[in-house]
Amino acid sequence: MGKFENIDTMLHQALQAIEQANDSAAIENARITILGKSGSFTQLGKILGTLPIEQKKDFGAELNIAKKQIEDKLGAKKEILAEQELNTKLAKETLDVTLPIRDEHQGRIHPVSKIYEEVVAIFGQMGFDIAEGPDIEDQFHNFNALNMPANHPARQMQDTFYIKNPDSDNFDDSYVIRTHTSGIQIRTMEKQQPPIRIIAPGRTYRSDWDATHTPMFHQVEGLVIDKNITMAHLKGCLYDFMKAFFELDDLPVRYRPSYFPFTEPSAEMDIGCLKTKTELKIGAGTDWLEVLGCGMVHPNVLRAGGINPDEYQGFAFGLGIDRLAMLKYGIPDLRTFFESDTRWLKHYGFTPLDFSSMTGGLSNTGGQAR
């Protein structure tokens, strides 16, 4: 008990008020009624000035001790309340991850998205980065820089969709919706000096329509550039990719000489399979299936991308995602991919919980809605 009864009483009341506050709003209220501008202790402080000199010192000291007690109590109580509030919040927000999903038959991942994930998982583990480029491309990136100058006959190999350039009537200035992802090779070289190791997945467009061709389809471009890169690296990389992708330990492959203006030498890769009237079995048999185009990057392409071909070499490849999906998951007609028929998607799609990874399983076909 101090000398001053009024301090004692008020201290007692204040401590009680703090004790009774049961949430942070109440504790703030209590603080204001005690220490606020017109709070009880602030008022008490004003008495100090009116006291005779001999009492002033003791009163002041006692008041300070009482204030300190109040502040300590406020701090301690605030901490307790904050912890309680956090616990209540955490309890309310608990998510029971063991609960089954509401309707596992709703929603499917499209086979194109699934293959995309698988391809990214495989090349990701090999250390490739992902690059991107625009769907609407200029002719420089889609053709010229890829060793296909205007009037080059190879431009006719691809049935190109052109878009008029609003700023020019000159046909050479018109844009294209990219006929392949190879323009991203140039865009990557423009941004980055070797070593380069990228894949570039994306939509591509050609005027074509039958069971294995649609005007919009998907490709993955690959580009590796460094010192001393050889055709052996290309072969090893793509062989490893195909084995991982088709989830086979052994897969017969062959490289057929081919022609692309932007690679020299160029090749197409075939994988071994068995075709019967009703079935296509990948990995065994006497037939071959073409799966991708590839080759050593042409020196003119390196130059166009700002890379010295006397110092660096590289390889590139382009594969069709849709085609890989048809082969891996036995889907006979490409046009059905883009009809948005939910019955089709239910049949060929994948459950959203089947992630593709090299360690956890690539295709998880067990989860496929069959």
Alpha carbon of residue 169 to chain centroid: 39
Residue 250 beta carbon to ligand PHE: minimum distance, rounded to whole angstroms: 26
Among 183, 194, 293, 314, indicate the residue that binds ligand PHE (CB under 6 A): 293
Q: Tell me: does residue 317 bind ligand PHE (CB under 6 A).
A: yes
The answer to whether 174 touches 164, Cβ cutoff 8 Å, is yes
Nearer to ligand PHE, 123 or 260 (CB): 260
Nearer to ligand PHE, 70 or 223 (CB): 223
**The token pair that represents 274 in the structure block:** 């068995």
Among 176, 224, 294, 327, indicate the residue that binds ligand PHE (CB under 6 A): 294
User: Helix, strand, coil: what percent of the chain each, to 5?
Assistant: 45, 20, 35
Nearer to ligand PHE, 109 or 223 (CB): 223
Nearer to ligand PHE, 15 or 269 (CB): 269
Q: Write 335-343 long-range contacts (CB < 8 A, 24+).
A: 335/209, 335/210, 335/211, 335/214, 337/110, 337/111, 337/112, 337/214, 338/214, 338/216
Q: Could you give the CA distance from residue 72 to residue 70 in angstroms, rounded to a whole number?
A: 5
The answer to whether 176 touches 163, Cβ cutoff 8 Å, is yes
Residue 155 beta carbon to ligand PHE: minimum distance, rounded to whole angstroms: 13
Nearer to ligand PHE, 182 or 214 (CB): 182
Among 141, 155, 180, 328, indicate the residue that binds ligand PHE (CB under 6 A): 180
Residues 87-106 interacting with ligand PHE (rule: CB under 6 A): none
Q: Tell me: does residue 246 bind ligand PHE (CB under 6 A).
A: no
Alpha carbon of residue 243 to chain centroid: 25
**The token pair that represents 352 in the structure block:** 């959203």
Nearest in space to 109 (alpha carbons), one of 364, 345, 365: 345
Stretch binding ligand PHE (CB under 6 A), from 5-13, 24-32, 187-195, 313-321: 313-321
Stretch binding ligand PHE (CB under 6 A), from 232-240, 289-297, 328-336, 338-346: 289-297
Furthest C-alpha separation in the chain: 114
Among 194, 295, 314, 349, indicate the residue that binds ligand PHE (CB under 6 A): 295
Where along the sequence are the contacts to ligand PHE (CB under 6 A)?
Answer: 180, 182, 260, 263, 293-295, 316-318
